């Protein structure tokens, strides 16, 4: 995929968003009531394009790592929000409220609070699950386009792919990881080092930016991550562990763009399943990237999204 000089300059200029620049898009933020508490939201830009509503991953990652998408605010409002249980949103202690259905209802509550009768939906990782579930439930009135990154339509399929990646870790790292799990030593420094090795290969392949670090901090603190996902990215034992919408993807009728990195922890077969399931959808694989493509290659990623949004 080639990026023109004009696209690169536009992306870099918009990413700066320095308060000292007169051309910086306006930023507004606030809180909105949702089932179970209040979430925090931020809207960047106010152009004439259809607003882009972003759904972050985790559950519990927070909005921070998606901030490179601010570059798109020169043409349309870009809305970020921290879902309940992480970041600047409320984090109720009652574990029973952290469900997929409540999260779907939360999307509707955010749309109502911000007047998003029309929107383009962007979902990454768990956010892609949330977007798929939302549309499969028939909640998509006014959703004009869909972007899914690091995407999956089935937790069992994604977990099987992750186990293949673990088995392929260098120097027998995967086998050693499973041995430590069997021995109950997942809190050991050796196990944590192997987990980090997996993350360096398949979650973020560049030194993490401050936004990425903020997201990792969110995950470490998030009750939503612990209850809905589990202890780490490839040990999914929480509420979402059996979720599977592969048979229902045909219900999604909007133009859809799917992105993944060549080394993504959500393996290629997961993305291909979505491409086959959503008629007319398009899949793009970003060479050299893993799960956090927007952190690893932000200019290239934003340019690709801009082309889809302008289509």
Length in residues, the chain: 311
82 flagged as catalytic = no
3-state secondary structure of 180: helix
| Residue of 56, 63, 202, 291 with catalytic role | 291
3-state secondary structure of 52: strand
**Among the residues of the chain, which ranges form H helices?**
5-16, 100-114, 126-136, 155-167, 173-182, 189-202, 210-221, 223-224, 268-277, 293-296, 298-310
Task: Give the torsion through C-alpha atoms of 47, 51, 56, 61, to 10 deg.
Answer: 40
Q: What is the DSSP letter of 41?
A: E
C-alpha count within 13 angstroms, C-beta hemisphere, residue 188 = 14
| Residue of 103, 154, 264, 290 with catalytic role | 264
- H-helix or E-strand containing 37? strand 37-44
291 flagged as catalytic = yes
264 flagged as catalytic = yes
| Residue of 103, 124, 125, 222 with catalytic role | 125
Indicate which residues carry an active-site annotation: 125, 264, 291
């Amino acid at each position: 995929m080639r990026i023109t000089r004009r696209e690169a300059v536009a992306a870099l200029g918009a990413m700066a968003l320095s308060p000292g620049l007169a051309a910086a898009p306006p930023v507004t933020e606030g809180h909105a009531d949702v089932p179970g508490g209040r979430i925090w939201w931020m809207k960047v830009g106010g152009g004439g394009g259809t607003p882009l509503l972003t759904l972050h991953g985790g559950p519990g990652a927070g909005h921070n790592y998606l901030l490179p998408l601010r570059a798109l605010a020169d043409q349309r409002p870009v809305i970020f929000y921290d879902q309940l249980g992480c970041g600047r949103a409320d984090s109720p202690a009652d574990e029973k409220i952290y469900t997929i259905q409540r999260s779907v209802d939360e999307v509707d509550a955010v749309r109502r609070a911000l007047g998003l009768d029309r929107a383009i939906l962007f979902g990454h990782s768990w956010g892609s699950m949330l977007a798929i579930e939302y549309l499969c439930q028939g909640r998509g009135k006014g959703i004009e386009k869909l972007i899914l990154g690091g995407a999956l339509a089935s937790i069992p399929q994604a977990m099987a792919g992750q186990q293949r990646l673990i088995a392929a870790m260098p120097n027998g790292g995967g086998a050693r990881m499973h041995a430590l799990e069997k021995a109950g030593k997942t809190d050991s420094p050796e196990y944590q080092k192997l987990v980090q090795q997996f993350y360096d290969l398949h979650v973020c392949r560049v030194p993490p930016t401050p936004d990425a670090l903020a997201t990792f901090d969110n995950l470490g603190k998030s009750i939503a991550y612990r209850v809905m996902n589990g202890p780490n990215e490839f040990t999914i034992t929480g509420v979402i562990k059996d979720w599977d919408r592969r048979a229902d993807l045909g219900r999604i009728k909007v133009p859809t763009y799917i992105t993944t990195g060549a080394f993504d922890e959500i393996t290629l077969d997961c993305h291909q399943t979505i491409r086959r399931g959503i008629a007319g959808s398009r899949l793009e694989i970003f060479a050299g990237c893993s799960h956090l493509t927007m952190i690893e290659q932000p200019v290239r990623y934003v340019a690709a999204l801009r082309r889809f949004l302008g289509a």
